[in-house]
Chains A and B, each alone.
Chain A
């Protein structure tokens, strides 16, 4: 199923119904700020960042304040230590830069994160999961109709390992820009969406393979083809711990709010989980720690010859 078919059906369903949305500014309860730990590190050969910030009032549309002067350390189950140094230019960022020829982490090892911030300390632990390679990226054409133009869609091909229980976050960059909308989160449990399915050891299912396509509109609200000749894309699969997968599913539920009719079937607002444990009574933190193995592949849409024939 692709977006254009959904749009057609929603267009048809919405005959006669005139849903209407207004931005409102309700007064919210006031809360004490608490520590936010954004610790998503991976085995790419580049500086790894743990970011410490504080929560903000919901409507404060500024960059979150960084937490400075903290100590951030990660230890693996073999006893190897990684010290994250505080960035001078970017308050709240703590960086581990891999020495040449080295990367962060090893698949299957357990990692423990320890943070000392002021008088408080926090801890978290996770296991680095495995990741399958991306074999290829292909393009296909979907013929337009009276509602949508011809669409060129990209698809990535990778095979989930046979034993079940692997979880992934698939990230896509179009022309160097990350598809970062909540609606563009692409998560996989084995080769499909959820643990119940036991869908393992095969290619990622079609909705995941094709969820690397941005559906943008032009100024007049017309749907644009996700890719046109000349575009390039880069896809990465990041392994997640099972807890991190559950966290990301909750993030998706809480943040991907298309509004309109879909609101009838939304779930109530609730706090997402966290694997950051406070070791100091009275101190709290939110956020997540995950160590990812990453595989990636890019491709340029150089000419219409790149389109797979039906």
Chain B
């Protein structure tokens, strides 16, 4: 760019020609000069250039590129629609462009999986699953099979911010963790940030999972659905309001209870066992510059043993967004978001004896965001976020023999607010920097009671010594954090680059969970006078390159180092549920994690897929645990290898496979035993935590997909499509260990007799699990 030259702006949306869906992260490249940009999460781009005539190249993975000649004498609005590319040879070219952007972009520690890829990964019981598919990525671990959530670069499950159209999802699991709440039919794009989180986001230490819903086909009505082993699914989408808008509504429900009802009396007598979710979105073009979106989710898991007793939990979210192109270089989005997670537990067969417990967390968010495309060398984003929370840890009553007692705990009220500014600057031909700053602040408000606790030996319950009562609106405690964000990319040559980043993150909500896997009754609790905000720093270095041999390969190596303060742990025997003095049972420590991640992906050809390998260490240090020494976290895995492969056998058959090999996770083993009052107690004389490793884990899953015959029997081409998926999970039926636990033998031992002790290895899935599903689309 030459100074003094007059400039003009080219801007617009890039969409999928087949259904009008905005394409997120599509590349817009100026042929001469190599300037370029990518579309934002709403598919909008803006690029400012010296006046002149340009050839602009629009491209996106899996779509045919489009070259447009633009005579840029004044600001030009150019909306582009790309068409799906099925010809493989050309696909290579398209992917090549996208790969260049991976090398060029300042983004790192990010994995993006499109829903088509997710749907091809062999899935447990054949149910396509967003969260479980993350397990195939580098840097992602889990405490074991069947556990909910995921662990990103040594973070715990509660340190992931999971957003569905910007709304926080507090519990991402159905059925205790086997399935996630996202309906694949309604998901468009899944992006996971394990590091280098940009300034617009904050609030969790370890990762950000940004799930974006489809907008709904703006051109044609479409119905997709399927019958799987667990869920039946149906989604409807199409244009509305004279093609000025579109909608999608998608539903899933488990149906085992429906099938079992005729055979199971209790199901006829009021027992309920099901889980479902509904996902919907509408959007409307107010005019050329303004568009609104309304999306929502509701899902619930219900386990009721009879009419009265059982438990259920679920998330509800709603997001209202207004996109506005204020001028050709300034894009604004205003989001108003509601999110709620609640559970309820009810026991007792009559009104004389029962226990009833509701708990919830709700938040209301307002988030204005601006993208200011200053020049082709500077893109500024700025904005803010205000989140108002209400926590209700327990609305609970119990009755014993007719006498009712209210054991509810007071609600907690909090506000989290943040402002940020971040600039993505191209410094020279080969160097780009994204530098930003976020400031976040967290307040606790009355009405409420704040306790202070005594000091005692670490690891022993602290008792309340004083309490202060606050009135409505009074500030009980507050904390602020400056969160710098920095990312640099240096392009070594057209096919390779070096990247580095540093981020600081703060987390003000804490998931209180001391069980191996997180469960639906885990409570979120806010920062307070006793619980300090969790703060974390992460440094990353990366090398990225593409290899353009016969097929395109994409390769990255990243090293990360993370530290975290105020990490929550628990005293032994901690009482975490309905406890007014919960904070006295919590310990505070620090964490560190470091690792190397290797990732090689072959994106095209009849055989494609990726290899992800992570070498990592995750450790914690907490006074009162492990004699105050560093110890490995429960999800620490030294080696973590995943292979994911797809093979197109013929026009109708395709095969997928994935293989996982993981180091054994740590566990605490006893050294000794002793007997108190006839009960055998395990004892670790060295007071160590996680002093052993359970055996390594490896598993192969395969699936085959059969596309329905595209031609009818009489030779007519079918309008609708369908396919079958056949899968085998844990093909060679390995009894992979989840844990090893120590216990005394089952039988009652008379006094004076020796008690037998033993160790038991548990495999959550100890056999091969077949699955079949049928999916249709018309």
Binding site for B on A (CB under 8 A): 1, 5-6, 8-9, 12-13, 15-26, 28-34, 36, 38, 40, 53, 55-64, 145-147, 157, 177-182, 185, 191-192, 194-199, 202-207, 246, 249-251, 253-255, 257, 259-261, 263-273, 286-288
Contacts and interface: CB of A to CB of B under 8 A. Distances in A.
B756 A61 contact: yes
A194 B309 CA distance: 21
Interface residues of B, number: 109
B496 to A, nearest CB: 43
B182 interface: no
20 contacts: A9-B273, A12-B264, A22-B761, A23-B761, A56-B672, A58-B671, A64-B675, A194-B578, A195-B581, A196-B577, A196-B579, A196-B580, A197-B405, A199-B405, A202-B401, A205-B355, A264-B517, A266-B741, A270-B668, A271-B572
Contact of A272 (B634, B671, B681, B744): B681
A61 B577 CA distance: 36
Interface in B687-742: 687-692, 735, 738-742
Interface string B337-374: 00000000001100001110000000000000000000
A196 B398 contact: no
B678 interface: yes
Given A8-B266, A269-B682, A20 B676 contact: no
B759 A24 contact: yes
Contacts of B514: 267-268
B769 A18 contact: yes
Interface stretch (B13-21, B592-600, B645-653, B746-754): B746-754
Contact of B515 (A15, A32, A266): A266
B265 A268 contact: no
B701 to A, nearest CB: 15
A58 B673 contact: yes
B516 A264 contact: yes
B462 to A, nearest CB: 13
The secondary-structure label for the interface of chain B is loop
A5 B573 contact: no
Interface in B220-248: 229
Contacts of A13: 175, 273, 303
Nearest to A265: B515
Contacts of B683: 55, 58, 271, 286
A72 B176 CA distance: 51
B125 interface: yes
Interface string B368-397: 000000000000000000000000000000
| Residue in A36, A61, A206, A207 whose Cβ sees the most chain B Cβ within 10 Å | A206
Given A182-B679, A196-B582, A206-B353, 12 more contacts: A20-B763, A20-B766, A58-B757, A196-B407, A196-B578, A196-B580, A205-B353, A255-B682, A255-B743, A259-B741, A267-B515, A268-B634
B762 interface: yes
Given A55-B674, A55-B685, A191-B400, A264 B147 contact: yes
A61 B519 CA distance: 35
B176 A57 contact: no
B670 A28 contact: yes
B676 to A, nearest CB: 5
A263 B264 CA distance: 27
Contacts of B579: 194-196
Contact of A28 (B403, B582, B669): B669
B305 A198 contact: no
Contacts of A26: 669, 692, 740, 759
Given A30-B671, A53-B674, A273-B572, A199 B398 contact: yes
Contact of B309 (A1, A22, A205): A1
Given A197-B398, A266-B515, A267-B515, A259 B760 contact: yes
B533 interface: no
A136 to B, nearest CB: 12
B310 interface: yes
B177 interface: yes
B762 A21 contact: yes
B146 interface: yes
Those 5 A-B pairs whose CB atoms lie nearest each other, nearest first: A20-B766, A31-B685, A196-B579, A31-B671, A206-B353
A5 B309 CA distance: 9
Nearest to B680: A255
A20 B178 CA distance: 17
B405 A57 contact: no
B574 to A, nearest CB: 8
A309 to B, nearest CB: 14
A9 B305 contact: yes
B763 A15 contact: no
B70 interface: no
Given A24-B740, A205-B400, A9 B303 contact: yes
Contact of B764 (A17, A34, A38, A53): A17
Nearest to A245: B573
A8 B580 CA distance: 33
Contact of B400 (A21, A28, A145, A202): A202
Nearest to B406: A198
A62 B680 CA distance: 12
Nearest to B273: A12
Nearest to B689: A268
Given A145-B266, A196-B581, A36 B348 contact: no
B144 interface: yes
Given A1-B309, A264-B144, A267-B514, A57 B760 contact: no
Contacts of A5: 305-306, 309
Contacts of B460: 273
B677 interface: yes
Contact of B738 (A53, A263, A272, A273): A263
Contacts of B354: 206
A273 to B, nearest CB: 7
A202 B405 contact: yes
A26 B740 CA distance: 9
B95 interface: no
Contacts of B578: 194, 196-197
A36 B229 contact: no
Given A21-B763, A63-B754, A179 B748 contact: yes
